[in-house]
Amino acid sequence: MAQKKLLIVDDQNGIRVLLMEVFNSEGYETFQASNGRLALEIVKDKQPDLVLLDMKIPGMDGLEILKQIRKIDTEIKVIMMTAYGELDMIKEAMELGALAHFTKPFDIDELRIAVNKLLHHDPSESAKRRMSG
């Protein structure tokens, strides 16, 4: 089975490094981006299976990045991360197809479990996609 690809988008280097270490040790191929432009380039070039996307990024915010990701690929799974309890933004992100959100500081184990569930424990979805493709 091919290695699952994970993109981490956060303007804070420490968060990106921590999450990359965690998910590399879980066996994922990980990519990182500190801004929206770079994130969208990686989405186009590497086609990640899941994006961990910070809501508050200077320049292009998480919602705008999510909208652009959806224009490139409607199937990519997205988990939002935010330091703010901004319910309107979270609600809009969910309407745009984000599957979950985590408020910083989040429990790294909870995030790891959520990612593993979304990428490993959904064999029926990938089978459906293969059959309809």
CB 87 within 8 A of CB 107: no
Is residue 121 predicted with pLDDT exceeding 60?
no
Is residue 86 predicted with pLDDT exceeding 90?
no
Q: How far is CA 118 from the centre of its chain?
A: 11
Answer yes or no: CATH 3.40.50.2300 is held by domain 5-132.
yes
| This prediction's pTM | 0.87
Is residue 126 predicted with pLDDT exceeding 60?
no
13-17, 90-94, 128-132: least confident range? 128-132
Looking at residue 1, what is its pLDDT? 64
